[in-house]
Amino acid sequence: MIRLITLFLLGLMISSPLFAQDNSSSAPAEDLLLKNYRPESLYKVHNYKADKASFKAVDMHSHAYPQSEEDIEEWIKTMKKNGIEKTVLLTKATGEKYDSLYTVYSEYSDYFEVWCGIDYSGYEEPGFAKKAIKELERLHKMGATGIGELGDKGKGLSYSHPVEAIGLHIDDERLDPVLKRAGELNMPVNIHVAEPYWFYMDMDSTNDGLMNAVNWRLDNQEGILGHGEMLTTLENAVKKHPETTFIAAHLGNSSYDLSIIGNMLEKYPNLYADVSARYAELSQIPRHVKRFITKYQNKIVYGTDMGTDSDMYNVTFRVLQTMDEHFYRQDQFGYHWSLNGFNLSDEVLKKVYQSNARKILNK
């Protein structure tokens, strides 16, 4: 009964359904919708700036956002301005789609690496792995130096072209020959499993990540593996293929409990993790995150996954490099949370920005 009342009151506060009507942020408090809550910090603290990476950085998690020469050249200017020496483009693509992207971006090979996907065509049929390996070898010969971003939110490896592999997870034995071949070709595999834990929780007043979680919710989806089960598929694959390098995108979506990915990083020399697109989730616990990244400084790599504009890069630098506190960037992230910097040491930053990525790329 108490739960029903709580949900009813939440509905009144934010107008059910959650985002049904709009109103101004200047509306009276009793009429303000939660989606329009845009607080501004009043704290008079030092306003830290970070307009450039502390060391020449490799962005290990981005995508082929611009696809015209003019836009790519503009992106390169932005990269130079912000100290990004190279960007890894996780195209997820195979076949003609990859070929077309590689044709465009290979003209700028000093600044980009163009990774490919895995062709899951016929994954339910005999001989799938042989065909997938043949295409992987072709893509590698063309210029693909890595694989990714493979993605599975619970239904299967759905981040792919030309087909989705529903029901096929990264630890499936049908993929074993493909992942083994990736290791032989020295092609690292970037894999996104699960989503932030808030997305699996009830969308009610107890969910402190509600404002972003409700847009990406998984709590109402049937037939998916849960958060823990998804992380198990990752660990199974990493364990089975010690000669293949894996990069867990977004710290394995374990921001709420970093010991999950931390334990894996300790156990498996072939596993790394990127911090891309999880700055908002991590910056709520900056001291804990600083300890975590410092402890695993040899296994963490920088990534963005948030577009190409200069302001986006600056936010990532501000979180990683400074000790700024309680600043808001609702334009960049979907949460109502304020952000806090980690103030990582130069020794750690150099590894996160540069050394670890170079080790992976030059393996």
Residues 57 and 28 in one domain: no
Instruction: Summarize pLDDT for 174-218 with one digit per residue, the tens.
Output: 999 999 999 999 999 999 999 999 999 999 999 999 888 999 999
Same-domain status, 326 and 251: yes
- For residue 336, what are the domain limits? 52-361
Question: 31 with 85, same domain?
Answer: no
Residue ranges in 106-219 assigned as alpha helix (H): 128-142, 176-184, 210-213
pLDDT confidence tier of residue 27, bands split at 50, 70 and 90 = low
Let me know whether 28 and 60 are in one domain: no
- Is 214 found in the same domain as 79? yes
Q: Is residue 42 part of a domain?
A: no
Residue 113 lies in a domain: yes
* pTM exceeding 0.75: yes
Asked if residue 269 belongs to a domain, the reply is yes
DSSP classification of residue 200:
G
120 within some domain: yes
Co-location of 108 and 229 in the same domain: yes
90 & 30 share domain? no
38 confidence band (pLDDT: 50, 70, 90): confident
Establish if 46 belongs to a structural domain: no
Q: Are residues 338 and 203 in the same domain?
A: yes
pLDDT tens digits for 72-88? Answer: 999 999 999 999 999 99
- pLDDT over threshold 80, residue 64: yes
Q: Does 170 score more than 70 pLDDT?
A: yes
b vs e for 103-127, b when ≥16 Cβ sit within 10 Å of the residue's Cβ?
Answer: ebbeeeeebbbbbbbbbbbebeeee
Domain presence at residue 126: yes
Determine the Cα–Cα distance for residues 60 and 355; give it in Å rounded to an integer: 12
Q: Are residues 16 and 161 in the same domain?
A: no
pLDDT score at 8: 36
Asked if residue 218 and residue 313 are part of one domain, the reply reads yes
CA dist., res. 345 & res. 291, Å (int): 11
The number of folded domains in the chain is: 2
- Flag whether 45 is in a domain: no
Q: Read off the pLDDT band of 9 (50, 70, 90).
A: very low
Residues 32 and 65 in one domain: no
In a domain, 47, yes or no: no
Give pLDDT tens digits for 95-124.
999 999 999 999 999 999 999 999 999 999
Return d(Cα 31, Cα 171) in angstroms, integer.
49
CATH code of residue 317: 3.20.20.140
